[in-house]
Amino acid sequence: MTGTRVPEKPTLDGIEDRWAGVWDNQGHYTFDRTKTRDQVFSIDTPPPTVSGSLHVGHVFSYTHTDCMARYKRMRGFEVFYPMGWDDNGLPTERRVQNFYGVRCDPSLPYDPDFTPPATPDAKQQVPISRKNFIELCEQLTVEDEVVFEHLWRRLGLSIDWSQTYQTIGRNSQQVSQLAFLRNLKRGEAYQAEAPTLWDVTFRTAVAQAELEDRERPGAYHRIGFPTTADPLTKVFIETTRPELLAACVALVAHPDDERYQPLFGTTVTTPLFEVEVPVLAHTLADPEKGSGIAMICTFGDLTDVIWWRELQLPTRPIIGWDGRILSEIPEWIATESAISQYEHIAGATSHTAKERIVARLNENGDLVGEPREITHPVKFFEKGDKPLEIVTTRQWYITNGGRDPKLRADLVARGSELKWHPAHMKVRYENWVEGLNGDWLISRQRFFGVPIPLWYRLDGEGNPIYDEIMMPQEADLPIDPSTDVPAGFTEDQRNAPGGFMGDPDVMDTWATSSLTPQIAGGWERDPDLWARVSPMDVRPQAHEIIRTWLFSTVVRSHLEDNRLPFLNAAISGWILDPDRKKMSKSKGNVVTPMSLLDEYSADAVRYWAASGRPGTDTAFDVGQMKIGRRLAIKILNASKFVLGLNATQNDAAITEAVDKALLAQLAKTVEQATNAFEDFNYARALEVAESFFWNFTDDYVELVKVRAYSETDLAGAASAKAALATTLDALLKLFAPFLPFVTEEVWSWWQEGTVHRSPWPDSSTLAALAGDGEAAMVADIAEALSQIRKSKSDAKVSMRAAIETATIAANDHVVQRLTLAAKDLQAAGSIESLNFASAENIEVTVVLAPVAQ
RNA sequence: GGGCGCAUAGCUCAGUUGGCUAGAGCGCCGCCCUUACAAGGCGGAUGUCGGGGGUUCGAGUCCCUCUGCGCCCA
């Protein structure tokens, strides 16, 4: 009557596909939406970018979250564990262009019957509407997402696969646009003119992440600025961009620079353009660079933007979106001669303008000496071949406290409400919020993103009146203003005088990603679901995007619901190369996650991941995976042995002191693991479980083997079996969050249902079973056993070799405890006669039995 | 330049509110085919806890300082 189904030769092979299939069929991880908020543990899963491939870093951090999810499920929570795909953004845009041979032209109308070219030609890309383009993006990303899902299932993530979303999907667009409209209605979203990094070839704003520095030749031009007080005295600056002279708004030097201190607070006049500008002090001015005093233009580079902002300087742009000098005479160019100088460069490219300005400066004697050639880093769009300009454009912003001390203080307070794991990560959030000096720019001049859902009235000449915004009805979302028409207008009024135009921009990807709780949780779309899962219990994420993803999510939730979007932030570390450098994408892709799963098993890879403590960078280490694999195999074999002893019932009386001691130790282990998990420290929980497990197999199982087999000491055998069964049951549960496959495999040999919905072990129940058992006895026995083994090892004999007499010396208390285990010790060590003596520390002396020849 | 973190055995890392002789695994060395496991088991050796100073009866742990490394921000 074994009642068990233990295989002859347990193996890890094939268990992943088998159990992943069973879990899916039986819906173990499907969210039960009858559960109320207090019964739910909800996870704001990070949506991975699907345009690349998953690397070991993903496996690492997603495993951490899954361990927590599995733990919470066993604690009786209904876990809401969705999965999103981040397919919104430029990487996807590029893939679609190349894959289908198309390009997006937002001015085109939607063609519902469009089919991409059969033989895509990257050089002859077919222009299509934004809506068509987005449809193709969705088609292509769906294919990537299938591959990702397969990997996640193989890794054993206990995701509810009926809860998925795409950041470019209809639901995400709807949420993103709705949230934006709510921001707008409450006055939290606004448009303003502001400096933006701009690629003149692509005519798009460029994000900081897409910048790269390239070393380019340039030349310092030494130019004299007459002081206002005495026009015969000149201040000499050196600049690589003399063509921006007409955009000069100030000169700047370091506050400690004694050469220029007398000039601070005075004014100078720009050569050629005769504009009076102040001389100011700022620490970013480098006394070593050029003449130590620089001209600030709006805008030559990013430092100009900082100076402009921090010194509150006027905006005098002269470069247009096409990279040419603006044709219209700027209002600050006032004198007749200045106007004629400007007309000389109006409409020219910056290259031509530079030549002309230099020539004029030379003629006027404002240029000193020959330009001094240098090489310096210049910012480029990674895909562009012309240096970036900084142009002033109309953009949309959302308030984030950068310009509002009250909001800023409120957002800092939100950060303090949030429970951070590890706690020190909160400081990064605080530093970021306290250091903000501008609102959140959310508009982007791109195609593949969520459109800004607005139209503008056009005046009689066809120019947009940006103050006359037309919003869609919330019920009509999502909309695309490039193809949809505002209420009261018809399509033929698009871009016509007196008609309307759609906002051509899309939102920053963070403007959508900041709403993942709302997207996944059914905000406004499914209020019943939203009430059951929000605010989310945990946001797992990496530390480098605290300032972006985490912060922006807090902003949106604060503005919309006046609360946190999630209660805990679980911050994961990074995967480093074995040489401690951050693992690069190229290197990460050399070792694909799937090949690791094939080689070491999913449980083994998960073991490695779960060994990395929260927030700590961890080395990529196949050694840990080998250990994980060994642990999984050991669990199979140890379980087989325990079940082979017919130790499947745990209802017998546990009477032996050794057995009670084991359970006391187990109770302690469960308590520690539980506390660690409650603190989101899955790594600690794994460590204590593992440590107990090895002691269990190495010492306890060896110790009670003989007694458990005994057919004479029935009470002793029953006690051992009950302790073994109780311990195996608890161990499988302790390991289940980490090693879901092997624990489920073993569970299936002797239990019904799934281990992953079984209740987490309870330390007080185990402590009650342990009764007066002393946990410390386990260590005493381990020490005694170890010394007995050592004596055999030293004598180079088998562990089965008989010992004639053994004497264990120890202090009285330990001797008392070990006496209770004397019979088991004798059996385990093949000791004929066991004596005890008194000593400070445990010390075993043995006399080996003569070896029979 | 500002902030945060890290530094413990050859390697990867634990070490909770300060408290017994600082631990684990890998690797290394030795032993053992043992009726769960030889893709295994058992045992052994291995430390200036980055340097210096301080607080304390007592410091890997707390404070100061220096050095090196990483990340974020400017």
Lowest-pLDDT range of A82-96, A264-278, A447-461, A506-520: A82-96
Q: How far is the CA of A552 from the C1' of B6 (A)?
A: 28
Q: How far is the CA of A618 from the C1' of B65 (A)?
A: 29
The nucleotide closest to A688 (CA, C1' atoms): B14
Q: How far is the CA of A776 from the C1' of B19 (A)?
A: 19
Q: Note the pLDDT of residue A210.
A: 54
Q: Note the pLDDT of residue A579.
A: 53
pLDDT at A792 over 50: yes
Contact between the CB of A428 and strand B at under 7 Å: yes
| C-alpha angle A554-A556-A560 in degrees, rounded to nearest 5 | 120
| Residue range A615-624: mean pLDDT, rounded | 82
Q: How far is the CA of A572 from the C1' of B25 (A)?
A: 23
Q: Note the pLDDT of residue A321.
A: 79
| Residue range A310-318: mean pLDDT, rounded | 86
Reference A633, options A755, A730, A742; nearest CA is A742
pLDDT at A276 over 90: yes
Q: Note the pLDDT of residue A1.
A: 35
Q: Over chain A, what is the mean pLDDT?
A: 87
Q: How far is the CA of A43 from the C1' of B71 (A)?
A: 26
| Residue range A48-63: mean pLDDT, rounded | 82
Q: How far is the CA of A432 from the C1' of B2 (A)?
A: 12
Long-range pairs for A409-416 at CB < 8 Å and ≥24 separation?
A410/A558, A411/A551, A411/A554, A411/A555, A411/A558, A414/A554, A414/A558, A414/A564, A415/A554
Contact between the CB of A779 and strand B at under 7 Å: no
Q: Which residue is nearest to nucleotide B69 (CA to C1')?
A: A580
Two structure tokens written together for A539:
């946001």
Contact between the CB of A79 and strand B at under 7 Å: no
Question: Do the Cβ atoms of A248 and A229 come closer than 8 Å?
Answer: no
Contact between the CB of A306 and strand B at under 7 Å: yes
| Residue range A57-65: mean pLDDT, rounded | 89
Q: How far is the CA of A691 from the C1' of B23 (A)?
A: 12
| Residue range A123-148: mean pLDDT, rounded | 85
- Cα–Cα dist A38/A41, whole Å: 8
Strands laid side by side in the A211-226 sheet: A234-239, A211-226, A367-381
Subset of residues 626-655 in chain A with CB less than 7 angstroms from any atom in strand B: 626-627, 630, 633-634, 637-638, 640-641, 644
Contact between the CB of A432 and strand B at under 7 Å: yes
Subset of residues 524-553 in chain A with CB less than 7 angstroms from any atom in strand B: 543-544, 547
Question: Do the Cβ atoms of A626 and A698 come closer than 8 Å?
Answer: no
Q: Note the pLDDT of residue A530.
A: 97
Angle between helices A56-74 and A602-610 in degrees, nearest 10 = 90
| Residue range A400-419: mean pLDDT, rounded | 90
Contact between the CB of A847 and strand B at under 7 Å: no
| Residue range A451-457: mean pLDDT, rounded | 96
Contact between the CB of A800 and strand B at under 7 Å: yes
Q: Note the pLDDT of residue A207.
A: 57
The nucleotide closest to A581 (CA, C1' atoms): B70
The nucleotide closest to A793 (CA, C1' atoms): B31
Contact between the CB of A576 and strand B at under 7 Å: yes
Q: How far is the CA of A274 from the C1' of B65 (A)?
A: 55
| Residue range A591-607: mean pLDDT, rounded | 88
pLDDT at A739 over 80: yes
Q: How far is the CA of A793 from the C1' of B44 (A)?
A: 10
- Cα–Cα dist A551/A564, whole Å: 11
Convert the pLDDT of each residue in A563-578 to its tens digit: 999 999 998 887 876 5
Contact between the CB of A790 and strand B at under 7 Å: yes
Contact between the CB of A471 and strand B at under 7 Å: no
- Cα–Cα dist A47/A54, whole Å: 12
Which range has highest mean pLDDT (A2-6, A587-591, A610-614, A759-763)?
A759-763
Subset of residues 433-452 in chain A with CB less than 7 angstroms from any atom in strand B: 435
Q: What is the ipTM of this complex?
A: 0.91
Q: Note the pLDDT of residue A563.
A: 96
Please, where are the H alpha helices in A547-611? 551-561, 585-590, 593-600, 602-610
pLDDT at A293 over 70: yes
Reference A159, options A85, A78, A83, A84; nearest CA is A83
Contact between the CB of A427 and strand B at under 7 Å: yes
Q: What are the φ/ψ torsions at residue A592 (nearest 5 degrees)?
A: -80, 145
The nucleotide closest to A690 (CA, C1' atoms): B24
Subset of residues 311-350 in chain A with CB less than 7 angstroms from any atom in strand B: none
pLDDT at A223 over 50: yes
pLDDT at A611 over 90: no
Contact between the CB of A33 and strand B at under 7 Å: no
Contact between the CB of A781 and strand B at under 7 Å: no
The nucleotide closest to A787 (CA, C1' atoms): B43
Q: How far is the CA of A412 from the C1' of B1 (A)?
A: 24
Q: Note the pLDDT of residue A175.
A: 97
Q: How far is the CA of A413 from the C1' of B62 (A)?
A: 29
The nucleotide closest to A675 (CA, C1' atoms): B16
Q: Note the pLDDT of residue A590.
A: 58
> What are the residues facing A49 on neighbouring strands?
A86
- Cα–Cα dist A367/A517, whole Å: 59
pLDDT at A586 over 50: no
pLDDT at A209 over 50: no
The nucleotide closest to A627 (CA, C1' atoms): B25
Q: How far is the CA of A552 from the C1' of B68 (A)?
A: 35
Convert the pLDDT of each residue in A668-695 to its tens digit: 899 989 998 998 889 889 988 998 898 8
Convert the pLDDT of each residue in A341-364 to its tens digit: 999 999 998 889 999 999 999 988
Please report which confidence band the pLDDT of residue A454 belongs to, taking 50, 70 and 90 as the band edges: very high
pLDDT at A453 over 90: yes
Rounded to 10 degrees, the C-alpha dihedral A249/A252/A255/A257 comes to -150
Q: Note the pLDDT of residue A30.
A: 96
pLDDT at A29 over 90: yes
Instruction: Please report the DSSP string for A449-512 in residue order.
Output: SPBP--EEEE-TTS-EEEEEEEPPPGGG-S--TTTS--TT--GGGBTSTTSEEE---EE-HHHH
Rounded to 10 degrees, the C-alpha dihedral A561/A565/A568/A572 comes to -160
Convert the pLDDT of each residue in A820-850 to its tens digit: 888 888 888 888 888 888 887 778 888 887 7
- Residue indicated by tokens 């902003």: A555
Q: How far is the CA of A828 from the C1' of B35 (A)?
A: 14
Q: How far is the CA of A508 from the C1' of B5 (A)?
A: 30
- Cα–Cα dist A363/A355, whole Å: 12
pLDDT above 70 as % of chain A = 95
Contact between the CB of A582 and strand B at under 7 Å: yes
Q: How far is the CA of A803 from the C1' of B19 (A)?
A: 39
Subset of residues 598-627 in chain A with CB less than 7 angstroms from any atom in strand B: 611, 613, 616-619, 621, 623-624, 626-627
The nucleotide closest to A633 (CA, C1' atoms): B37
Q: How far is the CA of A622 from the C1' of B11 (A)?
A: 12
Subset of residues 650-709 in chain A with CB less than 7 angstroms from any atom in strand B: 672, 684, 687, 691, 694, 697-698, 701-702, 705
Q: How far is the CA of A427 from the C1' of B63 (A)?
A: 21
Positions of strand B less than 7 angstroms from a protein CB? 2-5, 12-16, 21, 24-26, 30-37, 39-44, 69-74
Q: How far is the CA of A426 from the C1' of B62 (A)?
A: 22
Cα separation values, A431 from A388, A412, A434, A488, A545, Å:
29, 9, 5, 48, 13
pLDDT at A544 over 50: yes
Q: Look up the pTM and report it.
A: 0.85
Q: Note the pLDDT of residue A632.
A: 92
Please report which confidence band the pLDDT of residue A118 belongs to, taking 50, 70 and 90 as the band edges: confident
